[in-house]
Amino acid sequence: MSDPGADTVLVVDFGAQYAQLIARRVREAHVRSEIVSRDITAEEVRRRRPVGIVLSGGPASVYADDAYRIDPAILDLGVPVLGICYGHQLLADLAGGVVENTGTAEYGKTPLEVTGDSVLFSDLPRQQEVWMSHRDLVAEAPPGFEVVASSPGAPVAAMENRQRGLFGVQFHPEVAHTPRGNEILRNFLYDVCGARPTWTSHSIIESQVEKIRAQVGDARVICGLSGGVDSAVAAALVHEAVGDQLTCIFVDHGLLRADEAEQVEETFRGHFDVDLIHVKAADRFLEKLAGVTDPEQKRKIIGETFIRVFEETAREVGDARFLVQGTLYPDVIESGSGTAATIKTHHNVGGLPEDMELELVEPLRDLFKDEVRVIGEELGLPPEIVWRQPFPGPGLAVRIIGEVTRERLDVLRAADKIVVEEIRRAGLYRDIWQAFAVLPAVRTVGVQGDGRTYAYPIVVRAVTSEDAMTADWARLPYEVLEAMSSRIINEVPQVNRVAYDISSKPPATIEWE
């Protein structure tokens, strides 16, 4: 995925979440970043010709027997290196300094004092607050390094060897809790690495359009639309590149949210004038799902049926040779971390049927979700699609516990619409990662007027998250919860009770199934 046009910074991964955040901050400074495994060799680094390297933080200790290392020759390539937290300690260790575990950990907001003449802190206050999270510390900087900042628990909170272009900071400049962190990173990127701010949505679109054209030539391309932002932006990019060589296929499995299908149709037909095949396949999906209650079984049925429908429709397009997928960067990072256990079988809408012999076009492979959104806006997609909260491929089927029936879908769809409307009304839609309704497989007793009711409860789920790997339940204001509850109970006759899910991920997951 190297892109000769843009200056690139390599972020060496010692802990996936740390590395991803750093990579995003670098890109926010309009410099292209690429996350690489800690096993990368100096030779490979040289081949990629980065303007700088950042060694990320991570959970390990440089002492541990199996401590993560890097090829030490990387430090001698003449490419500037910035070590952050674990990366700072590793840099100190490799360059001949002393790293110790003194038993005094620092965690949280910490005052930092800039004590030396420094490039990283140039034009920044001598006293500032930074976010620390460490047990080990650099007790002695390596020879040739100047200590430029310290904190109460870290005598070498920042060090620089300008001659060799090696820099280290014990704190985390990439997190929002370090208020001047972005400026520190920018000082490294612009003043030390001499990076040019060439990573902009305009340049990304330009280079992707060029790549897509080079890949597909004058062949036909198909794209599965899901209603979500990723497939929509991927389709819009490909449309920008090859116009009416693109046919979009939108399989409506009957498990979508209220008004979703209409919006997709309206956007792509009305706005972009894309050749769109809208397959209304709700009956087929619901027939297959009849009587099925096991979550994995549901996912498998939906995934398989989707592929069959998609394949059949794709055949109508006849001579298509390429299939567009909205794969994002976090899915393809060559991470240094171990493999995660399969928690749920994820079904990607537009998933590739193995025997279709279509070549993949993946124009979002280099991008994080926030970048995808910005590009979507620049390409003219409406905000309802660009800012839409993520929605699982199997749709409402994994939010209906137990059997999926038309009646239960209608109840859930009506309640879900209210949840989303109230979140929007409160101005929270973009701050909340996902907010939705869940329909459990129980009924509850209530009283309405003078009569007893025996009806469905609805569970409201709203979470905040950076990347869906972890999530916290959203502290919604009581008034918002109250509005949801009374509207759902008043407007959806089959519901007599509303509960709010206050579990985080882990140990829960975002979806209920």
Residues recognised as catalytic: 85, 172, 174
**Which residues are CB-contacts of 154 (< 8 A; sequence separation ≥ 6)?**
106, 132, 134, 137, 138, 170, 171
**Any contact of residue 509 with ligand XMP (CB under 6 A)?**
yes
Tell the smallest beta-carbon distance from residue 177 to ligand XMP (Å): 25
Contact window for ligand XMP (CB under 6 A) among 255-263, 342-350, 451-459, 490-498: 342-350
Q: Of these, 249, 371, 394, 455, which contacts ligand XMP (CB under 6 A)?
A: 394
Q: Which is nearer to ligand XMP, 190 or 512 (CB)?
A: 512
Closest approach, Cβ 509 to ligand XMP, in A, equals 3
Q: From the CB of 267, what's the least distance to ligand XMP, in Å?
A: 19
Determine if 344 is a binding residue for ligand XMP (CB under 6 A). Answer: yes
Contact predicate 420/391, CB 8 Å: no
- Among positions 347, 388, 413, 417, the unique one binding ligand XMP when judged by CB under 6 A: 347
Q: Cα–chain-centroid distance for residue 61?
A: 27
Amino acid present at 315: R
Residue with tokens 């709700």: 282
Least Å distance, CB 389 to ligand XMP, is 8
Written as one string, the DSSP assignment of 262-315 is HHHHIIIIIIS--EEEEEE-HHHHHHHHTT---HHHHHHHHHHHHHHHHHHHHH
Residue 346 binds ligand XMP (CB under 6 A)? yes
Pick the stretch among 4-12, 95-103, 151-159, 385-393 that binds ligand XMP (CB under 6 A): 385-393
The residue among 435 and 498 lying less far from ligand XMP, judged by its C-beta, is 435
Residue 510 binding ligand XMP, by CB under 6 A: yes
* For ligand XMP, the closer CB: 112 or 229: 229
Q: Which H/E stretch holds residue 337?
A: none
Candidates 147, 277, 374, 468: give the one binding ligand XMP (CB under 6 A): 468
- Cα–Cα distance measured from residue 282 to residue 166, given in angstroms and rounded to the nearest whole number: 59
Measured over the CA atoms of residue 10, residue 13, residue 17 and residue 22, the dihedral's sign is negative
Find the shortest distance in angstroms from Cβ 242 to ligand XMP.
25
Q: Is 93 left (phi over 0), alpha (psi -120 to 50) or beta?
A: alpha
Told to check if 376 binds ligand XMP by CB under 6 A, we report no
d(CA 170, CA 441): 50
- Other residues' Cβ atoms within 10 Å of the Cβ of residue 329: 22
> What are the structure tokens assigned to 78, written together?
């003449």
Contact 464, 471 (CB under 8 A): yes
Shortest reach from residue 208's CB to ligand XMP, in Å: 22
User: Is 452 one of the binding residues for ligand XMP (CB under 6 A)?
Assistant: no
The DSSP secondary-structure symbol of 357 reads -
Does position 112 interact with ligand XMP (CB under 6 A)? The reply is no
Q: Rule CB under 6 A: is residue 511 a binding residue for ligand XMP?
A: yes
Among 133, 434, 453, 485, binds ligand XMP (CB under 6 A): 434
The CB-of-476 to ligand XMP minimum distance in angstroms stands at 18
Residue whose CB is less far from ligand XMP, 254 or 394: 394
Verify binding: residue 224, ligand XMP, rule CB under 6 A. no
Residues 6 or more apart whose Cβ sits within 8 Å of residue 425: 483
The residues binding ligand XMP (CB under 6 A) are 343-344, 346-348, 390, 392-394, 434, 468, 505, 509-511
